[in-house]
Amino acid sequence: MTDTSAPVVVAVGSTRRPKLDAVRDALEALGPKLFPGARFEIAGREVPSGVRETPLSREEAMAGARNRAESLVRIAREETLTWRYFVGLEGGLEVVEENGRRNVLLASWAYVTDGSARGAFGQSGAISLPESLAAEVLDKGVSLSVAIDAFAAKSGVRDAEGAWGVLSAGLITRRESFRIGVINAFAPFFNAGMYAPTNARAQTPSR
């Protein structure tokens, strides 16, 4: 049983507003399935990703998300904080060669752990980058946060709609892409029965 009088604190490895809002939005949707009746609070901490500012592969983006979450676990232990879940978020690129053509996709990754051996990844789906934008990042080494500002002729895109918002004409923002990733990463926690070993699922009575 969870003490519903005390909030369930979810630590996030960032202080950027789109990421914090994404986790807040995700908890509004999944919270009742995770802990019915509980209040959730978010604690944002800026922690290192351990990877490039713009990860250039799926593996690197996933590592960045996991590194952020695990940094939060260490902070909680050192400071004896009562954080219940730890969330790392990382956006990155994935390059896929298809019919001799370079396809560059942007995806948002989340990693969630309860600080023990339990942890899971979730992803947002992906959106293609125009070749001119991809070339700035991949070929010239410009970070996506800088390149998207120049591409969109705006400033501070990363802390607003993000590259997602620019490329989808506002239909999917950076905040929304991370929200989906967070829900997917939490799935083994709020829908644990589906992730149990097959024999354990078979013994679980249906409701």
pLDDT tens per residue, range 4-39: 578 999 999 999 999 999 999 999 999 999 999 999
The residue written with tokens 């998207």 in the block is 148
Mean pLDDT of the chain: 93
Q: What is the pLDDT of residue 3?
A: 53
pLDDT (average), residues 166-177 = 97
pLDDT tens digits, one per residue of 113-133:
999 989 999 999 999 999 999
pLDDT reading at 64 higher than 50: yes
Q: What is the CATH number of domain 8-192?
A: 3.90.950.10
Considering the entire predicted model, what is its pTM? 0.91
Confidence tier at 196 by pLDDT (50, 70, 90): confident
Residues 152-176 as b/e (b if ≥16 CB within 10 A, e otherwise) read beeeebbebbbbbbbbeeeebbbbb
What is the rounded (10 degree) CA torsion for 186, 188, 190, 192? Answer: -170
| Cβ–Cβ < 8 Å for 26, 183 | yes
Segments making up each domain of the chain, as ranges: 8-192
pLDDT reading at 154 higher than 50: yes
Q: What percent of the chain has pLDDT over 90?
A: 89
Confidence tier at 207 by pLDDT (50, 70, 90): very low
Residue 92 dihedral angles phi and psi, to the nearest 5°? -165, 175
pLDDT reading at 206 higher than 50: no
Q: Which amino acid is at 132?
A: S
Q: What is the pLDDT of residue 162?
A: 96
pLDDT reading at 81 higher than 90: yes
DSSP assigned state of 126: E
